[in-house]
């Protein structure tokens, strides 16, 4: 026989208070009640093993304690580390993270955003570039949803903003190769580069000058591997892989042509994901504070949810060179 589900009515009856009182107290809104009433209601709730209904709770509190997080590629360690930072902060504040992988698909992204909005999430963190400005307006601004768009795209005019210094990152990568004597260099990046990646390229060109070989490939290990066949037809000695995933792909791709790093090519990556330390040779790269970026984004969003009227916040986090063994003096 199935046990009868304990309802809020049962708790109210056993505590001798109204259903509204129980609802407020079990949802953490106890400031309007005496400590005695609060203690009694919570005790009876535990004794009866009452579990508040999620949807009912949403109706009362107009809050779901849930944040929707959208990333373009969860298999890329950059995004999994970012989400770890986000989730650690949200979890401590009793929020649940609802993670969606957009896969760079604009249609999927709109559908997911609409669905998250229907499910009543309290705010959005979007690290994907697929979202269009129309969707930002239609799905987020018009519905007054708190949100932060970061990394591949930003929406500084409409929301708080947190970015890392991509231009400086490009500068640092170029200066490093230049100091090692590399004058002929290539950059591997996607043809339809997102705004943050374009800034990296601009920073790189500022130091290296316009005489940079640009090789287009996708932002993935496979993209890096494929780029190797173009690299070997050039006379470059240094390669700036616009993210670490591309750099890892280059390791394998160049090996397929019997080329080695750093004796044939110096390679510098971007991100400083955990794997950089474990490949051979360990990858020299530009480090973004990925985990902190996730943490600070979540903190900023929670502040915005708490204080919707406060001044917009704009933050830029630093990047730095991590010198390992994939580049050499020539």
- Listing DSSP states for 217-268 in one string gives --SSHHHHHHHHHHHTTS---EEEESSHHHHHHHHHHHHHTT--TTTT-EEE
Give the Cβ contact number of residue 55 at 10 Å: 10
Closer residue to ligand RIB, CB minimum distance, 26 or 300 = 300
Residue 140 burial (C-beta neighbours within 10 Å; 0-12, 13-18, 19+): buried
User: Are 115 and 132 in contact, with CB atoms under 8 Å apart?
Assistant: no
Closer residue to ligand RIB, CB minimum distance, 140 or 319 = 319
Closer residue to ligand RIB, CB minimum distance, 78 or 240 = 78
Residues at the interface with ligand RIB (CB under 6 A):
76, 78, 151-152, 194, 196, 219, 243, 245, 270-271
Closer residue to ligand RIB, CB minimum distance, 141 or 322 = 322
Selection from 49, 66, 59 nearest residue 117 by Cα = 66
Closer residue to ligand RIB, CB minimum distance, 8 or 150 = 150
Closer residue to ligand RIB, CB minimum distance, 8 or 219 = 219
Residue 47 burial (C-beta neighbours within 10 Å; 0-12, 13-18, 19+): exposed
Phi, psi of 32 (to 5 degrees): -90, 5
Closer residue to ligand RIB, CB minimum distance, 151 or 165 = 151
Give the Cβ contact number of residue 289 at 10 Å: 16
User: Are 81 and 151 in contact, with CB atoms under 8 Å apart?
Assistant: no
Q: Where are the alpha helices (DSSP H) in the chain?
A: 8-15, 19-26, 35-48, 54-61, 77-92, 106-118, 133-135, 166-179, 195-208, 221-231, 244-256, 290-306
């Amino acid at each position: 026989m199935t046990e009868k589900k304990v309802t809020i009515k049962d708790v109210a009856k056993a505590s001798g208070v109204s259903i509204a009182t129980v609802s407020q107290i079990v949802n953490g809104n106890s400031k309007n009640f005496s400590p005695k009433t609060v203690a009694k209601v919570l005790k009876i709730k535990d004794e009866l093993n009452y579990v508040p209904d999620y949807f009912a709770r949403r109706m009362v509190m107009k809050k779901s304690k849930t944040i929707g997080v959208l990333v373009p590629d969860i298999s890329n360690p950059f995004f999994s580390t970012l989400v770890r930072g986000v989730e650690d902060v949200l979890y401590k504040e009793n929020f649940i993270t609802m993670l969606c992988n957009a896969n760079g698909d604009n249609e999927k992204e709109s559908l997911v955003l609409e669905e998250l909005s229907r499910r009543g999430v309290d705010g959005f963190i979007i690290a994907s570039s697929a979202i269009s400005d129309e969707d930002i307006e239609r799905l987020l601004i018009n519905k007054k949803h708190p949100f932060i768009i970061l990394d591949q795209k930003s929406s500084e005019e409409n929301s708080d903003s947190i970015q890392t210094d991509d231009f400086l990152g490009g500068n640092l990568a170029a200066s490093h190769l230049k100091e090692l004597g590399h004058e002929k260099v290539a950059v591997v990046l996607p043809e339809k580069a997102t705004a943050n990646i374009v800034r990296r390229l601009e920073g790189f060109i500022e130091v290296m000058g316009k005489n940079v070989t640009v090789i287009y490939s996708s932002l993935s290990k496979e993209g890096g591997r494929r780029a190797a066949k173009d690299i070997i037809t050039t006379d470059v000695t240094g390669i700036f892989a616009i993210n670490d995933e591309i750099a890892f792909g280059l390791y394998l791709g160049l090996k397929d042509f019997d080329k080695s790093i750093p004796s044939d090519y110096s390679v510098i990556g971007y991100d400083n994901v955990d794997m950089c330390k474990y490949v051979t040779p360990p990858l020299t790269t530009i480090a973004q504070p990925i985990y902190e970026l996730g943490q600070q984004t979540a903190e900023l969003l929670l502040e915005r949810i708490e204080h919707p009227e406060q001044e917009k916040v704009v933050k830029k986090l630093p990047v730095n060179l991590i010198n390992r063994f994939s580049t050499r003096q020539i």
